[in-house]
Amino acid sequence: MPRPRIHDPDTALDAAESLAVRGGPAAVTIRAVAAATGMSNGALYHSFGSRSGVLGRAWLRAARRFVAVQNELVDARSDAEDSAAEDDAAGLDAATEAIVAAAEAPSVFAERFPDSSRLLLTVSREQLLGEDLPEDVAADVRTAERALIDLMARLAQRRWGRRDRRAVEVLTTCLVDLPTAILIHRDRIAEPFAREQLRAAVRAVLAVGPPP
């Protein structure tokens, strides 16, 4: 007898995402996802392996969406940077604005994918990704996390012509620490004034730059 399959895994991930952000990770069970989607328990187990597999895949999808939004915001500045390539000061300004745009990614992400945003930015990673996470999902999660580090290294190269640890640490402050403190922890992710404060803070940190 053929094993059951899910024709649209995103439907299951949408349900898991909704359950997690409204009831916490514990609310996500195979039975709850099945009830929310009309899918069978067997189809869910076959496609995701376990409850942790469903949660892990939901988190991974949200992470990939976030990285895609962040890269889109950075790439939107590429034309300005290219046109300023012969002017060092203008080139620095364009690189700075690319980093500022990347810092605002949590707000843009929340506008486009509200539940993915809440899952990724307000639910503890440790709550979602337990020790029994399937190895293939864990490997994909590590790859997604490295994508952010790669982006920071690329932006550091644009701004200072270097991508060493200290330069990347400055970008970590700009793209992780400041958005978390100003937008996320204070629940101001949708406030225009908070985004204005974030832009000012990021520009100030970039003006100081990394140590030699």
CATH 3.40.50 fits 56-208, yes or no: no
Kindly state the average pLDDT of the residues 142-162.
Answer: 92
Instruction: Please state, rounded to an integer, the average pLDDT across all residues of the chain.
Output: 88
Q: What is the pLDDT of residue 120?
A: 87
Compare 188 and 85 and report the one with higher pLDDT.
188
> For residue 3, what pLDDT is reported?
46
**Pairwise CA distance, residues 48 & 9, whole Å:** 9
Q: Where are the domains of the chain?
A: 56-208
Mean local confidence (pLDDT), 41-53:
91
Of 176, 164, 162, whose CA–CA distance to 205 is shortest?
Answer: 176
Q: What is the pTM (predicted TM-score) of this model?
A: 0.86
Q: How many residues does the chain have?
A: 212
Query: Where does the pLDDT of residue 126 fall: very low under 50, low under 70, confident under 90, or very high at 90 and above?
Result: confident
| CA neighbor of 60 nearest in space, from 171, 183, 146 | 146
182 burial via Cβ count (<10 Å: 0-12, 13-18, 19+): buried
86 pLDDT more than 70: no
- The two structure tokens encoding residue 80: 């300005």
Structure confidence by residue, pLDDT tens digits, 48-65: 988 989 999 999 999 999
Residue 55 contacts residue 139 (beta carbons within 8 Å): no
Q: Sign of the CA dihedral 72, 150, 184, 203?
A: negative
- pLDDT on residue 1: 40
- Decide if pLDDT at 4 tops 50: no
Residue 93: C-alpha distances to residues 72, 90, 112, 174, 207 (Å): 18, 5, 27, 15, 10
How much is the average pLDDT of 160-172? 96
Confidence check: pLDDT of 6 > 60: no
Q: Give the highest mean pLDDT range of 19-33, 128-142, 197-211.
A: 197-211
Q: Assess contact for 195 and 104: CB atoms under 8 A.
A: yes
Eight-class DSSP state of 23: H
In the predicted structure, residue 160 carries a pLDDT above the cut 80: yes
Q: Where are the beta strands (DSSP E) in 62-172?
A: none
